[in-house]
Amino acid sequence: MSTTTRIDNKTDIKIAVVGSGYVGLVAAVCFAEMGHDVICVDNDERKVSALQGGDTLIHENNLPELLERYRNNKIRFMTDLGEATRTCDAIFIAVGTPQSETGDADLSYVEAVACEIARSLTTYKVIVEKSTVPVYTNEWIRRAIERNGVARELFDVVSNPEFLREGTAVSDFLHPDRIVVGANSDRAATVLSAIYAPLTDGEYYTRPDHIAGPCTADAPPPLLLTSTKSAEIIKHASNAFLALKISFINAVSNLCEATDANVEQVARGIGLDSRIGPKFLRPGIGYGGSCFPKDVAAFRSVADQLGIDFNLLTEVEKINTHQKKRFLSKVRSALWTLRGKRIGVLGLAFKGETDDIRDSPAIELVEMLLAEGCTIAAFDPAAMKRTADALPPGPNLRYVEDAYAAADDADALVILTDWQEFGTLDLNKLNTALRYPIVIDGRNLFDPQVMSDHGFTYLSIGRPAAYPVRELTASTSPTP
């Protein structure tokens, strides 16, 4: 198979994307931005009519602008998967694959979509799995379609995993490090290569209004053609490796705390090694979100089922769980006892610049603090509504309008999400608002020296604690 296989009429390829979640909606909008005609299908009528009306449903940079530009011309939203299948050449499945009780990915939505596609298949189609799925799913989709009476030559199933991060998903899609296409037939590989040609041949980056990012016409992204199984494993292995990097630096941060070393210096020192790289070495309260926890568990479960010893992943998960408990101990160490303490909480989303709270370590910590008997005033720039739906306000939990209101009269302020705007807070105002100027930072947003200069007791992750300059002077000056 050659990566240069092309088809002539690439702009005539019609694409259906099934599922309008983070991956589906972003993929649909970005395919339209690349010049394709797209139908985005969802079986949730409310979602479809909201999208038809211009609602983006998710908080994602560049998405509202692109949706506004292409809605009802290059991209249509509908509930009818049969019609979308009949109209389109390639059908991308981007439905949820939640974690089942055993840790496996629950593939029932993928199966249901495959069967429904099969019922409308009369001419050749490429069916593309874009959801994160375990190895062998491609074969299961093929079997499910065949079982529904579709002839083998009428379709191919391709694996085209996505590496989008929430918050920067549009730019990640249009400026990928790589595009992975797992295909076992030349015909299907040719269709996928044509779909991505505007990116891989650099043409997209010459357009005056293209979304900015690292790729250029001279340095377009590579398209890697692999077998379907390799592509499936690439996705799980990528997420598992990134999670491993985070757990590794979190374990190192604990070592730094025990020795009074500074994890920022250590991370920089190891990250400058080009074989290691500087990214995903930020210590914190553990990884969360809808992907890493689920995907590490699913990858571990795949290994178990295949009889492969991959206990390394169990350790990655253990460190991640432990990191939240360690942070709680840190809060306790600053406040002595927790019952009845008033805590200001900054951040509820699983990471900054998103409103997503799925598997958010911040929310787990809020729950842990509540269980310890604390009273919480919480603020998040985008995730408060979602959090309040899941964790309704009550006598011990309030959602407040800004960071200063969260700090107001609190015994300590804890930072749980790395929102950029938290890093630019007015420290004097924050100090005045707090009852005691104590900040426990689970995301290392501040320079300890600056916090000390502003009169805070400041505890962070893997760095020596900082104390107010005044207090330090008093305790270190010789006794009269």
- Which active-site residues does the annotation give? 291
Per-residue mark of binding to ligand UGA, 55-94 (x: CB under 6 A): ----------------------------------------
The string over 248-268, giving b where at least 16 C-beta atoms fall within 10 Å of a residue's C-beta and e elsewhere, is bbbbbbbebbeeebbbbebbe
CB 57 within 8 A of CB 94: no
Residue 357 binds ligand UGA, judged by CB under 6 A:
no
Reduced to 3 states (helix: H, G, I; strand: E, B; else coil), residue 285 is coil
CB 140 within 8 A of CB 105: no
- Only one of the segments 43-51, 57-65, 278-286, 385-393 lies at the binding site for ligand UGA (rule: CB under 6 A); that segment is 278-286
Identity of the residue, 273 or 401, whose beta carbon is nearer to ligand UGA in the bound complex: 273
CA distance 15 to 85: 9
Q: Is 50 exposed, middle or buried (0-12, 13-18, 19+ CB in 10 A)?
A: middle
Identity of the residue, 242 or 391, whose beta carbon is nearer to ligand UGA in the bound complex: 242
Residue 289 binds ligand UGA, judged by CB under 6 A:
yes
Residues 166-205 close enough to bind ligand UGA by CB under 6 A: 166
The H or E element containing residue 413 is: strand 412-415
Specify the amino acid at residue 156. Answer: D
Residue 239 binds ligand UGA, judged by CB under 6 A:
yes
Identity of the residue, 156 or 364, whose beta carbon is nearer to ligand UGA in the bound complex: 364
Residue 244 binds ligand UGA, judged by CB under 6 A:
no
Residue 246 binds ligand UGA, judged by CB under 6 A:
yes
CA 318 to chain centre: 20
- Work out how close the CB of 397 gets to ligand UGA at its nearest, in angstroms, rounded to a whole number: 22
Residue 129 binds ligand UGA, judged by CB under 6 A:
no
Distances (CA, A) of 39 to 33, 78, 162, 323: 13, 7, 19, 43
Among 60, 162, 355, 364, binds ligand UGA (CB under 6 A): 162
Among 163, 310, 404, 436, binds ligand UGA (CB under 6 A): 163
Extract the tokens encoding 455. Answer: 């009169």
Specify the amino acid at residue 443. Answer: R
Among 96, 284, 381, 448, binds ligand UGA (CB under 6 A): 284
- Work out how close the CB of 3 gets to ligand UGA at its nearest, in angstroms, rounded to a whole number: 22
Tokens 């040719």: give the residue. Answer: 190
Residue 299 binds ligand UGA, judged by CB under 6 A:
no
- Only one of the segments 79-87, 138-146, 238-246, 309-317 lies at the binding site for ligand UGA (rule: CB under 6 A); that segment is 238-246
Residue 322 binds ligand UGA, judged by CB under 6 A:
no
Identity of the residue, 226 or 320, whose beta carbon is nearer to ligand UGA in the bound complex: 320
Residues 437-476 close enough to bind ligand UGA by CB under 6 A: none
Residue 282 binds ligand UGA, judged by CB under 6 A:
yes
CA distance 316 to 294: 13
- Angle in degrees, CA 91, 94, 100, rounded to 5: 135
- Work out how close the CB of 129 gets to ligand UGA at its nearest, in angstroms, rounded to a whole number: 14
- Only one of the segments 53-61, 65-73, 156-164, 181-189 lies at the binding site for ligand UGA (rule: CB under 6 A); that segment is 156-164
CA distance 41 to 117: 12
CA distance 419 to 401: 15
CA distance 225 to 189: 8
CB 132 within 8 A of CB 239: yes
Identity of the residue, 383 or 434, whose beta carbon is nearer to ligand UGA in the bound complex: 383
Question: Which positions lie near ligand UGA, rule CB under 6 A?
Answer: 132, 162-166, 239, 242, 246, 280-282, 284, 287-289, 291-292, 350-351
